[in-house]
Amino acid sequence: MERNLMKGNEALAEAAIRAGCKCFFGYPITPQTEVAAYLAKYMPKNDGVFIQAESEIAAINMVLGAASAGVRAMTSSSSPGISLKSEGVSYIAGSDLPCVIINVQRGGPGLGGIQPSQSDYWQATKALGHGDYQLLVYAPCSVQEMVDKVTLAFDMADKFRMPAMILADGLLGQMMEPVTFPERKTEFEPKPWAANGHGNKRKHNIINSLYLVPEELENSIRNRYERYEIIKANHTEAESYLCDDADFVVTAYGASARVAKSAVNRARAMGIKAGLFRPITLWPFPVNEINEACKNAKALLDVEMSMGQMIEDVKLAINCSKPVHFFGRTGGVIPSPDEVLGELKKLSEANK
């Protein structure tokens, strides 16, 4: 298999083309601009559409249009831009449309900074736009996983008719690693619901999120939540690393999981039984997997590049059955393996 040395942002863009993404609409923002630059170069060569929209808002509503027309569509941004897209994402979810949204996170709130961050976990998993809905949220931690999860995100979005997000960060977007790509997808499931011209062969299709009768709106939401239950039961993903005999399980996703893994390895070398639990799907959160991973643990240490957002899901998932400690750096500061190791040492001392 051919291996390519690529930046995370460029690799995920290439993966989108291979997944059959027909349309990309975006607006430049650091640190995800390479996604747009790559697609501007290669979409036209692959019969695809690239438009630099006038705003993030326009871009996501172009995605809504392309998704309504039945083609695979994607947009990409970084934290402040994702906030602007939130209205459109809510409409896409409410209209049961599939699409892929990339968030290469940077520090916030407000204009924040341009260094890597994980402070949009709540936004991605709880509150990207108004209303009762969820996004599929994937958190890759390597360039290869960026590729794999973009591919999966398109398939899952189509299958469940809902938006999917890749929640990356500036570190994953900017770093280079070797990757292999899947073959280009050319066969797609039909979308009989699409607004693509009825050709006088069927009744007209309506893509819509408006229901003025409350019971009808409630029914549409309940139908959506039935699909969510199927996803929760069958499509969670996580990595458990050295967790079986671990006294202390570190929970971390994305870039901070890479740091945490180094710390776990060094702790093991010092005789501290540490492990790493890394959710790959942030929604749905891998509840069964985390309970299995920490069944022998004395305590958990949640590590994030934020003030602590995923930690709430960790506590909920284990029903607060064990102490969950926290270590985080935020504002674009990346925690070091030394710092995480220091926290593990403290835990080990306290539990002797």
Partner 1 sequence: MAVIFDRPKSLADVPTHYCPGCTHGIIHRLIAEVIDEMGIEGDTIGICPVGCAVMAYDYFNCDMIEAAHGRAPATATGVKRSLPDKFVFTYQGDGDCAAIGTAETVHAATRGENIVVIFVNNAIYGMTGGQMAPTSLPGQVTQTTPYGRDVSVAGNPIKMVEMLSVLDGVALAQRVAVNTVPHIREAKKAIRKAFENQKAKRGFSIIEVLSSCPTNWGVSPTEALEKIDEVMIPFYPLGAYKDVTAEGAN
> What are the residues binding partner 1 (CB under 8 A)?
22-23, 25, 49, 51, 53-55, 57-59, 61-71, 73, 87-88, 91, 95, 195-201, 204-210
Q: How far apart are the C-alpha atoms of 279 and 273, rounded to whole Å?
A: 20
Considering the complex, state which of residue 66 and residue 282 has its C-beta at the smaller distance from partner 1: 66
| Angle, alpha carbons 175-176-182 (nearest 5°) | 120
Distance of CA 72 to the CA centre of its chain: 17
Q: Give the HSE-up count for residue 56: Cα atoms under 13 Å, Cβ half-sphere.
A: 20
Tally the C-alpha atoms within 13 A of residue 241's C-alpha that lie toward its C-beta: 20
Least spacing, CB of residue 47 vs partner 1, in Å: 11
CB closer to partner 1 out of 186 and 319: 186
Q: In the bound complex, what is the minimum distance in angstroms from residue 90's beta carbon to partner 1?
A: 8
Give min distance, CB of 68 to partner 1, in A: 5
Closest CB to partner 1 among residues 73, 314: 73
Closest to 153 (Cα-Cα) out of 101, 194, 103, 192: 101
Locus of tokens 């540490």:
274
Using the minimum distance from each CB to partner 1, give the nearer residue, 45 or 201: 201
In three-state secondary structure terms, 327 is: strand
Q: Say which DSSP state 106 is in.
A: B
Q: Do strands 23-26 and 73-77 pair parallel, antiparallel, or not at all (unpaired)? A: parallel
C-beta of residue 275 within 8 angstroms of C-beta of residue 264:
yes
In whole angstroms, give the CA distance from residue 210 to residue 100: 22
- Please calculate the CA angle 181-157-31 and round it to the nearest 5 degrees: 60
Q: Quick one: 199 or 271, whose CB is closer to partner 1?
A: 199
How far apart CA 341 and CA 161 sit, in angstroms, is 42
Cβ distance to partner 1 smaller for residue 61 or 151: 61
Min dist CB 147 to partner 1, Å, is 24
| Type of residue numbered 320 | C
Shortest separation between residue 151's beta carbon and partner 1, angstroms? 21
User: Could you give the strand order of the β-sheet that contains 99-105, starting from the edge strand earlier in sequence?
Assistant: 49-52, 23-26, 73-77, 99-105, 163-169, 136-138, 281-283
Of the pair 200, 234, the CB lying nearest partner 1 is at: 200
Please say which residue, 135 or 340, places its beta carbon nearer to partner 1. 135
Look at phi and psi of residue 242 and say left if phi exceeds 0, alpha if psi is from -120 to 50, else beta.
left
Least distance (Å) between residue 130 CB and partner 1:
11
Q: CB 20 → partner 1: shortest distance, Å?
A: 13
Q: Which is nearer to partner 1, 73 or 264 (CB)?
A: 73
Report, in Å, the least distance between residue 204 CB and partner 1: 5
Residue with tokens 């863009």: 13
Closest separation in Å from C-beta 265 to partner 1:
47
Residue 332, both tokens: 């674009």
